[in-house]
Amino acid sequence: MLRRLAVASFALTVAACAGQQKPDAAAAGKAVPTEEKVRITNQPPFDLVSCFPRELKMPEQNSQGVVLGALLSARPQVQECLVDPKNRGPEAATKVEVKTTVTDQGATHVLSGQNLTPEGTACIQKVLDTQVQPAALAKGAAPVEATLPFEHTASGLNSVKFGINEGSDFTGSVRLAQPSWCDCYANFKDKVPPALTAKVKLVKAQQTPAQVTFEPSGSTEGDQLAACLQPKLAALPAKLSSDELNFSYRFVHFNSNATSEASATLPSELRFLQLDLVRTQRAADQAIADGARTPAAQAFAEVVDRYQKTKNYKLFDELESKCNALVAADTRVTESIQGRQETEQAALAIAQEMKVKDAEGWTEAEAATQKNLDETVKELAEAQKIATQDKGACPKKTYKK
């Protein structure tokens, strides 16, 4: 049901390089400030979908595709669970497999995997139990089952690791606190906040930061967000054994709920990654739409079969109703593919823009995105063809004089 998406990935150092030593200053024999002697990590982006979960429009009738789409839509929240080191084991890679079964009693989710702690299992289970709830089946209907794997490889761009140094331990606590600061993001439920940079000063004698200031964001909304985050950041516990440590924390935000156009204020590299999150949601939409079409097509085929066997004209209204439901399902399929196409077009434009600046780094991304777009265009043409055929098959009343 779900095609495998060819997604180009990059080791983009969006925030993890804060505090690295500058070679030219060291080579010149100049005194290097404290913040440039210590590499401060633990600054992965934060997806606002963890604050404002997506409300899926689930069809009344279920199928495997519907369940797969609902599971896929929850991927950002599952990944958020694995940002926290207490939810992962000692290995770099964590693999999770979710098997969902839907009956007339509702949906149940069974997790299995590798490198997952009990806390991690509980976190993902809570996500599934609250976010993946397809409609219960009719009484006596055969269960619907779907299985989807999730994989997470820990890195400085998607997870927190404690014990690197005291500055990184503090930034790790900042990142893990962000899901509890959702009130600050209330104005961004369907938008992408700007990236923000906070200057942090830790001193040995204080158990909280001695100073937290934000650089101007360039927008009123960004400055308001910074004003809300500042006291929360300043209240976090801090521990320092040296006299003083100064460093920057860069808040990079994404939002899986946002549209393809909602990230215009982000740098191109971050917009590309934001669109990758949108791509996942559009793929989930298509899976749900495809899955909803399956029972609609089966229902229409069943009444057509009865009519062909009986030639009972009294079945006309049912034929018309079932066919109209199928046409409506076809419309949802084509609209979902159009959404994917718009996302791929936006991503391709960014890849082409970045390739001009960095051909070696972006050639592969451009090729993969172009392939995605080409496949989406073909899928849309095929879906539109099927929709036209289905609409043409709908019975029409004729009146004879």
CA distance 203 to 209: 7
For the chain, the maximum distance between any two Cα atoms, rounded to a whole number of angstroms, is 102
At 190, the amino acid letter reads: D
pTM, to two decimals: 0.86
Give the residue extent of every domain in the chain.
34-254, 268-393
CA distance 93 to 89: 9
CA distance 382 to 380: 5
Is residue 230 within 8 Å of 214, Cβ to Cβ? Answer: yes
- pLDDT truncated to tens, each residue of the chain (401 aa)? 434 333 333 323 222 332 333 333 333 444 444 444 678 999 999 999 999 999 888 888 889 999 999 999 999 999 999 999 999 999 999 999 999 999 999 999 999 999 999 999 999 999 999 999 998 998 989 999 999 999 999 987 899 999 999 999 999 999 999 999 999 999 999 999 999 999 999 999 899 999 999 999 999 999 999 999 999 999 999 999 999 999 999 999 999 999 867 677 788 999 999 999 999 999 999 999 999 999 999 999 999 999 899 988 888 999 999 999 999 999 999 999 999 999 999 999 999 999 999 999 899 999 999 999 999 999 999 999 999 999 999 988 765 55
- Give the C-alpha distances (Å, rounded to integers) separating 363 from 10, 88, 366: 12, 34, 5
Q: What is the pLDDT, as a whole number, of residue 5?
A: 32
- Count of positions (residues) in the chain: 401
Q: What is the pLDDT, as a whole number, of residue 24?
A: 37
